[in-house]
Structures are given as structure tokens and as C-alpha cells.
Amino acid sequence: MNHYVKLVRKSSVYLLATIGAFAILLFISGLILDLRSFDETKGGYEPPFENFTGEPINFDELDQSAEGIVGRGYTVNILLNCTTGMVTFEFF
């Protein structure tokens, strides 16, 4: 009987470890997708901020808060404080 208990315990640990590894993989994938999709522009870093490529941020799709704007994603919210210029990441 002791052999079966060890087998069930070992199988349970492997199952839970597999589920945990899969959940971590999904979280990292969602994080990468969120960070890549928030700002898809390149260039235009110096005044007069022209000659950039890519799709600029559509501020109509972002939520507004008292301090600034919030971009909601799959796993992380990106908060832009418009008064201080701080960028904050809020994980779910």
C-alpha cells in the first residue's frame, strides 16, 4: 500500500508542476504581447518628433484616470502618469 501512496504523490507533484509551468509560460507570453502592442512606433525621438515609423498610440482606446492614462492588456496594465511622466506596470 505504501508503494501506491508514493506513486500517487509523485504523479500529483508532476501534474501540478506541469500546470504551473504552463501557467508561467502563458503569463510570460501575455506580458510580451502587452509590451509589444502598447507602442509600435520607432524613430522620431528628437524634436520636432517627425519621421517615425509604425502605428502611433491610439489614445481613444486607452482608459483615462485622474493622474493620466491606462493601457489595459492581457497580463499587465501600463499606467502613464501625465503630470510626472512616470510609467508604472500593474500586474494582474
**Is the confidence at residue 90, as pLDDT, over 70?**
yes
CB 33 within 8 A of CB 78: no
The pLDDT assigned to 1 comes to 67
Query: pLDDT for 22-73, tens place per residue?
Result: 999 999 999 888 888 877 788 877 887 788 888 887 778 888 888 888 888 8
**Is the confidence at residue 89, as pLDDT, over 80?**
yes
Among candidate residues 41, 40, 26, the one with its CA nearest the CA of residue 74: 26
The pLDDT assigned to 53 comes to 85
First-residue to last-residue Cα distance in the chain: 43
The pLDDT assigned to 18 comes to 98
pTM for the complete prediction?
Answer: 0.65
